Amino acid sequence: MSSPALAVGLLAVLLLTLPFWLRNQYHLHIAIQVGIFAILAMSLNLLLGYTGQLSLGHAAFFGIGGYTSALLSKHLDVPVMLGFLAAVGLAALAGYLVGKISLRLRGAYFVLVSISFAGVIALVSVNWIELTNGPLGMPNVAAPGIVLPGVGEFVFRSKESYYYLVLGAAAVSYAVCHRLVHSRFGRACLALRENEVLAQAVGVNGTAYLVVAAVTSAAMAGAAGSLYVHYTRLVSPEVFLFSYTVSMVIMVVAGGKGTLLGPIVGAIIFTILPEVLRAVASYQWQMLAYGVLLILTIFFLPRGIVPAVTSWWGRRRRRAVTPGLVPVAESERTL
C-alpha cells in the first residue's frame, strides 16, 4: 500500500473512532465545531482559492441557512432534515442573486456588494421581530432526526451522534469540492483566477462559472449554518457577525487557499488554538498570542501551511530517491 493511501486510511479510522476514545464532552464539542468550520472554510475556498474572488459577506449565507432551518422547524413543524435541504436551497438562491448582480463587476465591487448584503440581512434579522424575535433570537431549536425503518425516529441529541452527522456533512462537502476542482469547472475557475482576459479569449464564460462557484459556496455555507443552529439549539443575529467571515478567511489563507486540504487544516488549527489559549492565559493574552501566531504563520508560510508542508515533503522524497543530490545553496557554499 502506498504512503498516501495508508495515510488516508489511518485518517479515516481516526475520524470514525474519535468519539470512542475522546471521552471528554468538551473535547468532542470542539471536534464538532471543527467540522462545522471546516465546511465553512471549504465553501469560502471555492471562491477565494479557486476563482480569486474575496467574499466578506459569507456569514450572510451561514446565517440564512441557520435561520431558514430554525424557522421552518419551529413555526411550521417541518422535519429538520427537510428544513436542512431548504436552508441549503435558500442560501444557494441568495448566492445566485448576489453573484449574478456583483460578479459582473469583479474585484472590490464584489467585496462591497457581498459585505453590504450581509449587513442588510443582519439588520432584517434584528428588526423583523415578528418573524425572528429580534435580538433575543429563538431558543429551543429542534435537534435533527431521521426515521429508521423498523426502528423509529433517531434524534441526534448526544454529542457523539451529532459528531457523526457533522462528519458526514463535511465528507460530502469535501467530495463536492474535489469533484468540482478536478473537472472542467475547476480548470475554468483556475484559468479565470490566473488570467481572466486570456481565459475569456479561449471561450471561458467568466461570469457563468463564477456564479456557479458562488451558488455552490453559498449552499455549503447554508448547510454549515443549519448544522450549527441545530447543534447549539439557538439562532440569533450573532450568526451574521463579521467575525465569522474573518475566521473563515484566516482558515483558508493560513491553511492554504486553492488547495483541498488547506481549509480543513486551517479550520482544525484555528478552531482548536483559541481553546488552548483560553486554558493557559487571560483574554488579553489570548488575543495577543493568537495575533502573533497568525502573523508568524502568514510571514513564514505565505502560501499557507499545506503548500509549505507539501513542498517540504516533495523535496525530502527527491533527496531520498537521489541520495547524491546536493541542494543548490549547499553546492554554492562549497565553491
Q: Kindly state the percentage of the chain with pLDDT values over 70.
A: 91
Per-residue pLDDT, averaged over 253-265, amounts to 91
Helix residue spans in 182-241 (DSSP H): 184-194, 196-201, 206-232
For residue 146, list its beta bridge partners: 154
Higher pLDDT, 212 or 8: 212
| Main-chain dihedrals φ then ψ at residue 154, nearest 5 degrees | -105, 120
Other Cβ atoms closer than 10 A to 92? 23
d(CA 61, CA 20): 33
The pLDDT assigned to 102 comes to 77
Higher pLDDT, 220 or 156: 220
Cα 161 vs. chain centroid, distance in angstroms? Answer: 21
The tally of CA atoms less than 13 A away on the side-chain side of residue 48 is 29
pTM of the model as a whole: 0.89
pLDDT in tens, 199-212: 878 777 777 888 89
d(CA 160, CA 157): 8
The answer, yes or no, to whether residue 286 has pLDDT greater than 70, is yes
Region of 258 please: left (phi>0), alpha (psi -120 to 50) or beta: left
SS3 143: coil
C-alpha cell at 271: 478552531
C-alpha cell at 279: 486554558
Per-residue pLDDT, averaged over 121-136, amounts to 89
The pLDDT assigned to 330 comes to 45
Per-residue pLDDT, averaged over 120-128, amounts to 91
The pLDDT assigned to 331 comes to 41
C-alpha cell at 75: 413555526
CA–CA distances in Å: residue 47 to residues 181, 216, 223, 289, 320: 11, 9, 16, 29, 37
Per-residue pLDDT, averaged over 36-45, amounts to 94
> Across the chain, how many H-helices and E-strands are there?
15, 4
Most confident of 35-39, 124-128, 274-278: 35-39
